[in-house]
A = this chain, B = another copy of it.
Amino acid sequence: MSKVFVDVGMSLDGFIAGPNGGTKNPLGDDGLKIHNWMFKQKAFLSHLKMEGGETNNKDNDIIEETFNRFGANIMGKNMFVEGEATWPEEAPFHCLVYVLTHEKREPLIRPGGTTFYFTDEDIHTVLQKAKDSAGEKDVRISGGAKTVQQYLNAGLVDEFIIHIAPIFMDAGVRLFEHLDKTKFSFKINKVIDSPEVTHLFYSVKDN
């Protein structure tokens, strides 16, 4: 059955972006460093239509598996605005992306199969639409932090994957705050370690 998952990179001190983020400073000060392990992998670069990159390692395999499993994405407005300014023309989704925003806007079609839908419907309704779009594939809650928190607190997430980089941000956007811990529990599914990042796979139970 189709699953709803979060897949996110985090610093060891709990940040998914640095301070002062925006269209001219994607992921904020030092925020790109959280994903250094990813930027060097072929599976990531090829989705941006870029050449090169490493293969035959666990990090590359994990990225490939993640890209292959989702059939729709949901993201918050801030993530979209920052991404719109920085993704290449062929945005790295290749499926429908639902953007949670009060802004009225026509769907945005990008080459390579990515269409952004802008919606101010409630998160349950948006998730149902994303599931319908995804078919047998999974739905990824892409971010940012507020969107992840909303879906967690609503008990709507099935799996949570965190890639912890051994770096410190000391400021920025925290992944885990404003949580209602009575609403859900995490259980360790598996852990994959590699030299520059630790991949933690949790299953999430609605309490």
- Are B169 and A181 in contact (CB-based, < 8 A)? yes
- Copies of this subunit: 2
Within 8 A of B (CB), among A166-196: 166-170, 176-177, 179-181, 185-188, 190-191, 193-196
CA distance A196 to B185 in the complex (A): 12
Show 11 residue pairs from A and B whose CB-CB distance is below 8 angstroms, ordered by the A residue.
A13-B176, A14-B176, A166-B186, A166-B187, A167-B185, A168-B179, A168-B181, A170-B180, A188-B193, A188-B198, A191-B198
Q: Are A170 and B181 in contact (CB under 8 A)?
A: yes
- Mark A residues whose CB is within 8 Å of B: 12-14, 162, 164, 166-170, 176-177, 179-181, 185-188, 190-191, 193-198, 200, 202
Closest to A183 in B: B168
A13 neighbours in B (Cβ, 8 Å):
14, 176-177, 179
Please measure, in the bound complex, the distance between the C-alpha atom of A187 and the C-alpha atom of B200, giving whole angstroms: 17
Q: Measured between C-beta atoms, what is the minimum distance from A121 to chain B in Å? A: 28
Q: How far is the CA of A187 from the CA of B177 in the complex (A)?
A: 26
The winner among A14, A177, A186, A187 for most chain B CB atoms within 10 A is A14
CB distance from A58 to the nearest CB of B (A): 12
CA distance A13 to B186 in the complex (A): 12
Also in contact, A166 and B195, with CB within 8 A (given A13-B14, A179-B13): no
- Name the B residues within 8 Å of A162 (CB-CB): 12
Q: Report the separation of the CA atoms of residues A166 and B166 in the bound assembly, to the nearest whole angstrom.
A: 18
